[in-house]
Structure 1
Amino acid sequence: MDFLIQWSLFLLASILLGFFLEKRTEKEQYLYLKFVFYACLGSVSFPVYDIQLPLGIILFLIVLHPKKNSRYKRYMALFGFLFFLLQLIMGPFDTFTLREETQQMGQVTITDESFDTLMTHIDRRIGDDSLRLEQSQLLFDQGGNLRNATFELIAKSPKRFIRYEVTYQEVTGTLTYRPREEVLTRSLEVYYQKLIDASTSFQTLKTLSIKQILHESKTPYVEMDLDGLYETFSLQDATVLLINDQGELIPYVNTGDDVLANAIRLTYLRSDGQSLREKTILLYNYSFETSRRKGVVR
C-alpha cells in the first residue's frame, strides 16, 4: 500500500478512536488533539543499521507519565505502536512487489514489433516511475532473432529498494520475472541515483537501428550489454558510435575530452561461442562536458 495512503488511513482511524474514547474520559483541555498526538508518537520509529526501533512507544513508557486520563492515552499510544508493527509486517508486500511469474511471449525478433512488445510488457508489468536499469544483456543472431535476454532492474518504495531479474528464453518463448532481494533505502540511495531510468533505456532499444548493426556484423551472433550507470568514458582507442534521437548510429569525432554517457557494448560471437577482439561501444544519453566539470568519476 502506498506510504501516504497508509498514513492517511492511520490518522483517520486515530481521529475516530479518539472521538470514541473522549466520551469515556474526564474533562481535559485539548484532549482530542492529545489522543491523536499519542497515537502518532506510538508509531514513531528510528532506524539503527537495518533495524527499526519503536522509539515512540519507548519514550511514552519510560519518559511520559500522563496523570489525567492516563489509561486512554496509553490505549492511543499502543494503537500507534500496532500501526508501527503493521508497517513492519506489510513492508515486504508493496504494491509493485512481484512474485516469480512467467509470461508467454513466443518468438521475438529484435527488428520488428515483437521486440517493442517485449519491452513494453516489462515496463508495464513492474510498472513504476522509479524503475531504473542496473544492467542487461541481449543475444541475437544475424536474422534478428532474440535468443535470450536478461534485465536487472531496481524499483524504489518509500522504505526500500527491490531488485528484479527479468529473463527471456527463445527455447520456451517465455518472459520470467523474479524479485531477487530487498534493500533498505539508505543502503542504495547514492548508487540508485546514478542509474538511468529504465524507460529511457527501453526507448533507446526500441528506436535503435538494429538492422545497421546486423548489416555490419561479421559473425552469426551479436551480444549487446547495457550498463545503467552514467559513466565517464575516455575514448582514445575504442570504436565508438553515437545513437542519435532517431536511433541511427553516427561516428564519434574524438575531441580529446571525456564523454559522459550510458553505453551499449557490442560483442561479436562466432558459432563456437568465441568472441572477436573487435568490440563496439554505442553511447546514448550523452554529454560532451568533461568529467571534471560534471564531477563524475568512472
Structure 2
Amino acid sequence: MIGMLIMSILLTIILIVLLVFIYKKREETETNLGWKVVGYFWLGAFAFKVNEIPLPLGFLLFLLLFRPVTNVKTKNRSAYLGLAFFLIMHVIFPAVERELFERPRDVVAASNNMFQVDFTNDWMTIRDQIKIDEYARLVYFRADYQKSGQIDRLSYYVVDVSEKGSVYYDINFSADTNRYIIRAEKIGVEGLEYVEFVEASRFFEVLDEVQVRNLSLEQPFEGYTLRFDGEWIKDANEYQQKYVILGKEIKTITRDQLPTEGYPINVCGKGKPYELPTGSGVANRCEANADFFFDD
C-alpha cells in the first residue's frame, strides 16, 4: 500500500511537470490556454466502465468530435497525455497492484508434525503477518501425514469475507522449508457465499483442544488424511463411523442418535503405498473412514 501511494505521488508530480512543459511549448498565444490544456488532458483521461471494464470514452470523443483550430499540437499532446494517464491508472497500476497483492508470502511453521503443531498459534501468526480478518472462514483443509505424525502435505483455503470485496487465501505447508506459503486473490462479492462456513479460528481451536493424535480410527494405519470442507451438515449415513467432539472428549455417535448435525472432520486411514497401474507413481488407498463432528 505504501509503495502504491509513493507511485501515485510520483505520477502526480510527473503529470504536473509534463502539463507545464506542454503549455510552455504552445505554438501561439491563446486566451485561457492553460485551462484548455488541463481540459484536454482530462478529456483524454476520462473513463467509462462497462461491466467493470474501463473504456477510454473521453479520448474516443476527442478523436470523433474535437477539431482544435489553434495550438493544435499543444491540445493533441494534452489529450494523448490523458490517454497515457488512463492506461496507467486502469491497466498498468491495477496489474502492478494485483501482482504485489498476489505475490507468494511465507510464514514459519511451529512444527512439521501433526501431533505437535500448535494450529491456533500458527494461524494467528499467519493472520497477523498477512493481515487476514480474525473472522475469516475456512473453506477447505487437508493434511496427509504418517502414523508418526510427520506431515507429507498440508494445505487449506481461507476466505476473508467482506461486502466491499472478499479475499481468497491459498495456504500451503512446505515440508522442505517448514514454512507456510500463502497466496492471496481478490474474489469480490463471490466471497459472500462462504459467510456460513466455519470460522478458521474455531476449527484450529478444536484441533488443538482435542489433539489430532486422538482423531484415530479403530485400527492403526501407515498414514492418514484429515479433511475438512468447512460446512455445517446434517448426516444420517449409518454405515460410516461417527463421533462427536466435546472439548477434549470424543464420544461415539450411535445409530439411534442419527441424524447428527455439525461440522464434520473426516479422517481416512491408508495402507502401504502401491504402484499405480499406469506406472505414473504411487498412491495410498483409503481403507477406513470416520467423521468427527463439532459445533460452533
Task: With the length of structure 2 as denominator, give the TM-score of the two structures.
Answer: 0.60
Q: Which runs of 5+ in 1 are unaligned?
A: 286-298
Letter of the 1:264 partner, please give it: I
Match of 1:279 in 2: 290
Displacement of 1:73 = 5.8
Matched, 1:151 2:155: yes
Structure 1 partner of 2:234: 233
How far 1:227 sits from its partner (Å)? 1.2
Q: From the superposition, tell whether residues 242 and 87 of structure 1 become closer, same or farther in structure 2 (CA, over 3 Å).
A: farther
Whichever residue aligns with residue 293 of structure 2, its letter is: L
Is the alpha carbon distance of 1:76 and 1:151 closer, same or farther for their aligned partners in structure 2, counting shifts above 3 Å?
same
Matched, 1:210 2:212: yes
Displacement of 1:265: 0.6
Matched, 1:84 2:90: yes
Q: Structure 1, residues 70-103: CA drift from partner, whole Å, max 9, x if none?
A: 557624454233322322431431335316x6x7
* Residue type at the aligned position of 2:153: A
User: SS at 1:85's partner residue?
Assistant: helix
Alignment-derived partner of residue 266 in structure 1: 267
Q: Which residue of 2 aligns with 1:224?
A: 226
Q: Where in structure 2 are the equivalents of 1:281-296 lying within 5 Å?
A: 281-285=292-296
Q: CA separation in 2, counterparts of 1:248 and 1:283?
A: 11
2 CA distance for matches of 1:202 and 1:33? Answer: 56
Identity score, percent: 9
Deviations 1:126-173 (A, max 9, x none): 443396544222244555x3332321425679889666350343xx46
CA–CA distance in structure 2, aligned partners of residues 110 and 217 of structure 1: 19
1:41 and 2:42 correspond: no
In the aligned structure 2, how far is the partner of 1:94 from the partner of 1:197? Answer: 27
Give the equivalent residue in structure 2 for 1:295: none
Counterparts of 1:247 and 1:97 in 2: how far apart (Å)? 38
TM-score by length of 1: 0.60
Counterpart of 2:179 (choices 175, 182, 194) is 175
Matched letter for residue 241 of structure 1: Y
In structure 2, the residue matched to 1:93 is: 99
The DSSP-based 3-state class of the residue aligned with 2:236 is coil
Q: Secondary structure of 2:132's match?
A: coil
Deviation at 1:35, TM superposition (A): 7.6
* 8 A contact 1:105–1:173 mirrored in 2: no
CA distance in 2 between partners of 1:256 and 1:47 (Å): 48
**Structure 1 counterpart of 2:266, which letter?**
R
AA matched with 1:204 = V
Evaluate the alpha carbon distance shift between residue 7 and residue 240 of structure 1 in structure 2; reply closer, same or farther with a 3 A threshold. Answer: farther
Q: 1:252-290 CA distances to partner (integer Å, 9 max, x unpaired)?
A: 68776674x4431112334565544442232344xxxxx
Q: Identify which of 114, 128, 132 aligns with 1:128.
A: 132
SS at match of 1:94: helix
* 1:98/1:178 contact within 8 Å kept: yes
When the two chains are superposed, the root-mean-square deviation of aligned CA atoms in Å is 5.1
User: Which is higher, the Rg of structure 1 or of structure 2?
Assistant: 2
> Aligned partners of 1:234, 1:154: CA distance in 2, in Å?
24
